[in-house]
Structure 1
Amino acid sequence: MSTNFKRSAQTQLATTNEGYIQGPLKWAIAFTASLGAILEVIDTSIVNVALTDIQATLGATVSEVGWVVTGYAIANVVLIPLSAWLGDYFGKKSYFIFSLIGFTLASILCGLAFNLPMLVLSRILQGLCGGGLLAKAQAILFETFPPAEQGLAQAVFGVGVIAGPAIGPTLGGFLVDGLGWRWIFFVNLPFGILAVVMASLFLPKDVDKSKAQNQAIDWWGIGFLIIAIGCLQTMLEEGEQDDWFSSGFITTLGVLSVIGLGLFIWRELITAYPAVELRVLRHRSLSAGSLLSALVGMGLYGTLFAVPIFAQSVLHFTATQTGLLLAPGALASAIVMVLLGKLSSIIDARALIAMGAVGTSGVMFQLAAITPQSGTDDLFWPLVWRGAFTVLMFLPLSLATLGPLPKHDISAGSGFYNLTRQLGGSIGIALLTTLLDRREAFHRALLLEKLSPYDIETNQRLDLLSGALQSQGMDATTAQQQALALISQIVDTQAAILSFADIFRVVGVAFLCSLPLLLFLGKGRAGAKAPMAH
């Protein structure tokens, strides 16, 4: 009797009347949830710098090794919208711990993989478990902290989500160059064990799950979701390589994704117990915020995709050097995130998002001014400012999108919100990859038009290069051939730089075009009245 009374008293001291956690325990929960999210986000990008080494070790082709990334991404986006239902069915704490354990074990299997199929299957398992970490972590924080403290709580979460895509290549570069590619997976083991222990100790005990478990499982909805999201993600990952809809495979994926999406929406709206609660989109802040989230994902992942390619293909940086180039921007994101967490409760979220969008757009236009002579110094401050301005969009957008939702809709809303950001990133990378290739071919054709055999400047440059090579002991014929190769290389470099400038401008314009969506968001401040649901 006395033991039960004591536990009851402790529970009352640790929670408010609204069910929010009080005292130091809430910060332990925040760090626990955020650690799980960081593990998932970093593993989204850490493998990119190791693909060449993996290809050489396992004897795979370029297209085959790409499935190490594609398999993870597909599994990840399929699980994110299901995370709310899985949390209700198995219990939020149980499901989060299960995801952590599965993610850690899958990481070990990835590191031990002796052939490509084993690595791809392990990455799919890792993506399935990781998909449950990101959305659940954010939902746990919204359900743990009262509105007045959401800014700081989401800042802790946001540090990992924003900085993770930059930390991944940096950490990956050091591990690949120093220890080998397998250690980009083995490094998850100590942090995964720590996260499991923390989650077991600090996360609130699951409430009664019998109600959810007594409901019929929406197998049709889950199946249609897998078809829709799986085919869409595969199409985005493989589209550029297969020349998009000129490929029957890509066309089939596109048709299946549209059909699957239509059937999924129809199923979820007619069933009494949907796997994904789409009715949560009746909240205006969530529907508008999710659309903005997709654009933020395009900008966040798209530019972080473009800059490393530019650094390695044009500036000829190593993986470690590329990681170090991105590191100051990640640090700027973390610093601004913490500072903004304290200010977000007193400043209108829409104003902060607008500042972030305009500032990021300005940085994109600044990056578009790159030249063949651009180096680390020219990229340092634009990337630092990009890291800072992105935070001005990410944190207030999370608060303005999810903050106004009723507590019982937070979990479903968080899953949908995180899904749109992940898909936005995939769409952004696919679009920018295609645009980069098409614009590079366009600029190369224009530049070659000016390199006519009858052009005086072209012949002068050719004679100058040929003479310089002959002065080093090369015969005339070989010198002429080498001079032509050098001019071709210069043309390729210039075309690449012009195409990178084009995609930076496109991202900048996209952020400016997103500003009208702010009219549909709430203020996101503590105590602000939630937007009406429609």
Structure 2
Amino acid sequence: MNTTRLILLTTTVIAAAVMELIDISIVNVALSQMSGNLGATLEDTSWVITSYAIANVIVIPLTGFLAALIGRRNYFIGSIALFTLASLMCGLSTNIWMLVAFRFIQGIGGGALLSTSQVIVFESFPVNKRSVASAIFGIGVFTGPTIGPTLGGYILEITDWNWIFLVNVPIGLIVLLGSFLLVEEPKQRQAIKKVDYLGLLLLILGIGALQIVLERGEQEDWFDTNYIIYLTGVAIMGIIGFVWWELRISQPIVNLRVLRSPTLAVASILTFVTGVGLFTSVFLTPVFAQRLLGFPALDTGLLLLPGALIAIVALIMTARLLQAGVPIPFIIVMGFLLFMTFSWKMGHLGPDVGKGDFYIPLIFRGVGLALLTVPLTALAVSGLSATEIPQGAAFNNMMRQLGGSFGISGVNTYLANRIAQHRTDLVTNLTSNDAETTQWLTSVGHRFVAKGATELDAVRQSYQLLDQSVTRQASVLSYLDAYLAVGLLFALAMPLILLVLNKAPAKNIVVSLSDH
């Protein structure tokens, strides 16, 4: 393949993956506007996020099977067309449930783009350049979720929420045309003799129910809500049944036997943890900056920019390190340590936090995740045969998405518990016998009286202001705790790298990928 064609193909397929990843987080900033314009409650509007995530996490592990069934080229092009059409219909939706339905269809189309794009990029590069291919693809994987909220906020500043979806249409059409002209069917194609319908049903039930529980559990008070209890049971039975059935038949819809590879098993767990870090940090930081510190939307988005730009450089450097023979476990350890440094610094921010206090920690975050993206992808497929690589890549990508879902769900629950605990701790120190509290209330009350309030109103307003101050301080402390908790998860997972210490030197990656 000549250089020009390679550049065009790589740009096209990575653009498809980036579109999919951006749409995971781009709608987060638009929920309030959607709710108002469509006459829906904020709770109903949040299904716009949930439906996409459910479809995504169901389709991702099926990409290898579906590509083999109808041909990878047809599957990839069809998925782009479906994603683009669904984006158009999302933008034209006139009620909330129409939007949720087309958002689910958009997730079905988008679920194929990540793993399929990854395999196409790997295949297209010469054997000795595939670590560079991993880095280039990693740029999309890393930057997509990071820039989603920023892009969404910018779109909302200049136009309506519909354009969060409509902006995909021209880009999707360009990507569709490029894919039609450039993407080729692989020479080796696995034949599908029999469709595993039971496995498909169990996967949809198990993973779909699990995703709903994770997305909705915290909002519904978890097991105080009947449908969450029922869906938890469906998820457990569906997943157990799926694993049992897939290991029993000769042609499973998802080949779980690839997990016999120790490198894929360990990489999947570490990728899950990385997904927790990637998505929770993208979730926590904008909310912390905007809602608690009062940063404008544009300034909040710009907080992530320096770290993202430096991370792109770090991704290219990571590829060079792999090519130079630096062991994958060493690079992964460095990535984990840098992300843990980010968590530690964010967890110890002072009371007077400014924009400048975010930049250095977020640079640690960006470089740390950059050092993890390429090596973990390479580690996941390093022990697989040519026919197993699509399944292994899809499973690894699914673990990243599930890590994000588990992470955000867990962080939301953790925040609610910590806010209640910190509030209790703070309130116990605010008594009528405390001189500082009494002096503060008196001083604030006098200011309200000076502005025309009655004595009674001044007392009431002073206590309201004190309550707001306590709630805000409890929330700030809880967010700092959440950063530390995610860092602790990274620390607990890091020893797993010892299991593959001598199994995946960087020089073997080229060999394993050259079989595909």
* Aligned equivalent of 2:244: 266
Matched, 1:195 2:169: no
* Aligned equivalent of 1:494: 473
Matched, 1:304 2:282: yes
SS of the aligned residue for 1:473 comes to: coil
Matched, 1:422 2:398: no
Distance in 1 (alpha carbons) for counterparts of 2:294 and 2:375: 37
* Aligned equivalent of 1:477: 456
1:52 corresponds to which letter in structure 2? Answer: S
Matched, 1:434 2:409: no
* Aligned equivalent of 2:25: 45
SS of the aligned residue for 2:387 comes to: helix
Deviation at 1:485, TM superposition (A): 1.3
Matched, 1:55 2:35: yes
Distance in 2 (alpha carbons) for counterparts of 1:362 and 1:420: 24
Distance in 2 (alpha carbons) for counterparts of 1:181 and 1:327: 23
CA deviations over 1:141-163 (Å, ceiling 9, x no partner): 23333443122101111111101
**1:494–1:184: structure 2 CA closer, same or farther, 3 Å change rule?**
same
* Aligned equivalent of 1:6: none
Q: Is the 8 A contact 1:169 1:322 kept in 2?
A: no
Q: Is the 8 A contact 1:80 1:132 kept in 2?
A: yes
Distance in 2 (alpha carbons) for counterparts of 1:27 and 1:404: 28
Distance in 2 (alpha carbons) for counterparts of 1:262 and 1:412: 19
* Aligned equivalent of 2:359: 380
Distance in 2 (alpha carbons) for counterparts of 1:259 and 1:29: 42
Distance in 1 (alpha carbons) for counterparts of 2:37 and 2:299: 23
Q: Which residues in structure 2 correspond to 1:349-428 (within 5 Å)?
A: 349-428=328-407
* Aligned equivalent of 2:87: 107
* Aligned equivalent of 2:204: 226
2:113 corresponds to which letter in structure 1? Answer: L
Distance in 2 (alpha carbons) for counterparts of 1:310 and 1:227: 35
CA deviations over 1:392-420 (Å, ceiling 9, x no partner): 11111111222332222110001100000
Gapped regions of structure 2 (runs ≥ 5) = none
Q: 2:322 aligns with which of 340, 344, 351?
A: 344
Q: Which residues in structure 2 correspond to 1:441-456 (within 5 Å)?
A: 441-456=420-435
SS of the aligned residue for 1:304 comes to: helix
* Aligned equivalent of 2:268: 290
Deviation at 1:524, TM superposition (A): 4.7
Q: Is the 8 A contact 1:159 1:334 kept in 2?
A: yes
Deviation at 1:23, TM superposition (A): 4.9
Q: Is the 8 A contact 1:336 1:391 kept in 2?
A: yes
1:487 corresponds to which letter in structure 2? Answer: L
**1:312–1:405: structure 2 CA closer, same or farther, 3 Å change rule?**
same
SS of the aligned residue for 1:204 comes to: coil
Matched, 1:141 2:121: yes
* Aligned equivalent of 1:121: 101
Deviation at 1:422, TM superposition (A): 0.2
CA deviations over 1:348-378 (Å, ceiling 9, x no partner): 1111110111111011110011233212111
Q: Is the 8 A contact 2:382 2:504 kept in 1?
A: no
Distance in 2 (alpha carbons) for counterparts of 1:296 and 1:206: 31
Q: Is the 8 A contact 2:89 2:102 kept in 1?
A: yes
Give the TM-score, by structure 1 length: 0.92
**1:285–1:147: structure 2 CA closer, same or farther, 3 Å change rule?**
farther
Distance in 2 (alpha carbons) for counterparts of 1:256 and 1:527: 41
2:504 corresponds to which letter in structure 1? Answer: K
* Aligned equivalent of 2:504: 523
Deviation at 1:288, TM superposition (A): 0.6
SS of the aligned residue for 2:251 comes to: coil
Distance in 2 (alpha carbons) for counterparts of 1:109 and 1:206: 32
Deviation at 1:24, TM superposition (A): 4.6
1:80 corresponds to which letter in structure 2? Answer: I
1:170 corresponds to which letter in structure 2? Answer: T
**1:158–1:467: structure 2 CA closer, same or farther, 3 Å change rule?**
same
Q: 1:462 aligns with which of 432, 441, 455?
A: 441
1:513 corresponds to which letter in structure 2? Answer: L
2:147 corresponds to which letter in structure 1? Answer: I
CA deviations over 1:7-61 (Å, ceiling 9, x no partner): xxxxxxx4xxxxxxx7554443322221111010000000101111000000111
2:262 corresponds to which letter in structure 1? Answer: R
SS of the aligned residue for 2:219 comes to: coil
Distance in 1 (alpha carbons) for counterparts of 2:321 and 2:27: 35
Distance in 2 (alpha carbons) for counterparts of 1:92 and 1:69: 28
Distance in 1 (alpha carbons) for counterparts of 2:367 and 2:188: 42
SS of the aligned residue for 1:514 comes to: helix
**1:418–1:372: structure 2 CA closer, same or farther, 3 Å change rule?**
same
CA deviations over 1:77-113 (Å, ceiling 9, x no partner): 0000000000111111111011111101110000000
SS of the aligned residue for 1:68 comes to: helix
Query: Which one is further off, 299-308 or 23-32?
Result: 23-32
Deviation at 1:339, TM superposition (A): 2.6
* Aligned equivalent of 1:151: 131
**1:324–1:381: structure 2 CA closer, same or farther, 3 Å change rule?**
same
* Aligned equivalent of 1:169: 149
Deviation at 1:445, TM superposition (A): 0.7
Distance in 2 (alpha carbons) for counterparts of 1:198 and 1:469: 65
Distance in 2 (alpha carbons) for counterparts of 1:523 and 1:207: 27
Q: Which residues in structure 2 correspond to 1:87-98 (within 5 Å)?
A: 87-98=67-78
Q: Is the 8 A contact 1:451 1:458 kept in 2?
A: yes
1:263 corresponds to which letter in structure 2? Answer: G
1:274 corresponds to which letter in structure 2? Answer: P
Distance in 1 (alpha carbons) for counterparts of 2:450 and 2:349: 33
Distance in 2 (alpha carbons) for counterparts of 1:51 and 1:177: 14
Distance in 2 (alpha carbons) for counterparts of 1:369 and 1:516: 25
CA deviations over 1:239-262 (Å, ceiling 9, x no partner): 001111222211111111110011
RMSD: 1.7
Give the TM-score, by structure 2 length: 0.95
Q: Is the 8 A contact 1:294 1:424 kept in 2?
A: yes
What count of residue pairs does the alignment treat as equivalent? 509
Distance in 2 (alpha carbons) for counterparts of 1:147 and 1:425: 32
Gapped regions of structure 1 (runs ≥ 5) = 1-13, 15-21
Query: Which one is further off, 366-375 or 516-525?
Result: 516-525
Q: Is the 8 A contact 1:399 1:524 kept in 2?
A: no
